[in-house]
């Protein structure tokens, strides 16, 4: 998983709302991570959306996709599926599929009821949805299945070098930018990379700062930097010419995690107490965020050293 998260970019991404409030950290799942999929392997895709004139009969097309999914499952391979929920499941807050946004996996198929069995990172249990009910629950009515066919032809070393280059771009806020990300003053709408830590730090100046969402943000940061540290250590054997800086980067991510642990504990305690943050607590949270940022900067600096050493080979 660490290697997958490293190549896809999740290990290095972190983003923040200007007030430290609600943000789902899911932008990689529905947009930019798709760029990395061809590097990981080759896939057969079934894809259409509202207004697509290339598909004459959507229901027949979904039947073709179902048959291909069944063949993949017979080979023991689950299938990537976009937002595997029906409109009814989306509207029913008591149904487990209600939270199955972004990408999930088809892991089984029931012949009698013609239902996919779904495993999803936002859902704690497997659930079922009819094969022809998906593809209607977002504004674009995006129907999208990806079926694994084989390994990528790209050299493994180049795939990982590209992941390291992307890690630097994530940190510096240059991996993606468009009109949805930039405010009139030139700052990012939801800053990511180093700017996310700075934005989080600023948000804690407010006496009534919302801490409930920061519990989630801290958990996401912890999970992603754990993956980053593990990925750096995996790369030591894959890219031995840069073993030194890769090991150093992993150590800096470990140091970042040492700050993230108490950061989570403080946010979690305040959220459970249901009270405003005291000034001394906000100061300590800001200190821990600064420590995490400094460690993150140090890790990325070592990644840049690793890339320079690989370039010099």
**Per-domain boundaries in the chain:** 2-25+155-311, 50-141
The pLDDT value recorded for residue 179 is 46
The pLDDT value recorded for residue 51 is 77
The pLDDT value recorded for residue 307 is 98
Q: pLDDT > 70: what percent of the chain?
A: 94
Alpha carbon distance 71, 36 (integer Å): 25
The pLDDT value recorded for residue 211 is 83
End-to-end CA separation in angstroms for the chain: 28
50-141: which CATH architecture? Alpha-Beta Complex (3.90)
The pLDDT value recorded for residue 155 is 83
Q: Is 36 helix (H, G, I), strand (E, B) or coil?
A: coil
Tens digit of each residue's pLDDT (9 = 90 or more) over 251-306: 999 999 999 999 999 999 988 888 777 788 889 999 999 999 999 999 999 999 99
User: Can you say whether residue 157 is alpha, beta or left, with left for phi > 0 and alpha for psi between -120 and 50 degrees?
Assistant: alpha
**DSSP one-letter code for 1:** -
Mean pLDDT of 100-108: 93
Q: pLDDT confidence of 178, banded at 50, 70, 90?
A: low
Whether residue 221 is predicted with pLDDT greater than 50 in this model: the reply is: yes
Tens digit of each residue's pLDDT (9 = 90 or more) over 2-51: 998 999 899 999 999 888 888 877 667 666 767 778 878 899 999 998 87
Q: Report residue 30 as tokens.
A: 């529905």
Q: What is the mean pLDDT of the chain?
A: 90
Lowest pLDDT segment from 13-17, 107-111, 221-225, 255-259: 13-17
Instruction: Give, in order, the Cα–Cα distances in Å from 52 to each of 32, 83, 85, 118, 131.
Output: 22, 18, 21, 26, 20
Helix boundaries (H) for the chain: 2-8, 27-30, 37-40, 58-74, 87-91, 156-172, 194-203, 212-238, 243-273, 279-311
Alpha carbon distance 33, 2 (integer Å): 15
Whether residue 54 is predicted with pLDDT greater than 60 in this model: the reply is: yes
Is 62:131 a contact under the CB 8 Å cutoff? yes
The pLDDT value recorded for residue 210 is 77
163: burial class by Cβ within 10 Å (0-12, 13-18, 19+)? buried
Q: Name the CA radius of gyration of the chain, rounded.
A: 21
- Between strands 41-48 and 103-110, the pairing is unpaired
Q: Is 80 helix (H, G, I), strand (E, B) or coil?
A: strand
């Amino acid at each position: 998983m660490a290697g997958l998260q490293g190549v896809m970019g999740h290990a290095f991404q972190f983003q923040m709302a200007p007030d430290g409030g609600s943000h789902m950290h899911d932008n990689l799942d529905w947009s930019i991570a798709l760029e990395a999929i061809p590097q990981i392997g080759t896939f057969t895709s079934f894809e259409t959306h509202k207004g697509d004139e290339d598909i004459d009969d959507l229901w027949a097309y979904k039947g073709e996709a179902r048959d291909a999914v069944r063949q993949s499952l017979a080979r023991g391979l689950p299938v990537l599926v976009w937002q595997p929920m029906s409109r009814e499941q989306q509207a029913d807050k008591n149904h487990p599929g209600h939270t199955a946004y972004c990408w999930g996996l088809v892991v089984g198929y029931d012949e009698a009821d013609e239902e996919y069995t779904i495993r999803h990172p936002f859902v704690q249990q497997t659930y079922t949805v009819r094969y022809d009910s998906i593809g209607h629950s977002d504004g674009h009515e995006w129907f999208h299945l990806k079926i694994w066919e084989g390994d990528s032809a790209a050299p493994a070393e180049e795939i990982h070098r590209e992941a390291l280059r992307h890690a630097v771009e994530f940190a510096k806020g240059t991996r993606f930018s468009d009109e949805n990300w930039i405010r009139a003053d030139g700052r990012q709408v939801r800053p990511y990379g180093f700017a996310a830590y700075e934005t989080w730090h600023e948000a804690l100046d407010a006496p009534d700062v919302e801490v409930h969402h920061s519990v989630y943000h801290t958990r996401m940061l912890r999970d992603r930097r754990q993956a980053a540290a593990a990925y750096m250590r995996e790369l030591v054997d894959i890219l031995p010419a840069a073993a030194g800086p890769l090991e150093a980067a992993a150590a800096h991510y470990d140091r970042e995690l040492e700050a993230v642990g108490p950061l989570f504990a403080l946010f979690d305690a305040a959220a459970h107490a249901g009270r405003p943050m005291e000034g001394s607590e906000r100061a300590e949270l800001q200190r821990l965020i600064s420590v995490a940022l400094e460690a993150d900067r140090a890790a990325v600096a070592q990644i840049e050293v690793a890339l320079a050493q690989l370039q010099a080979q």
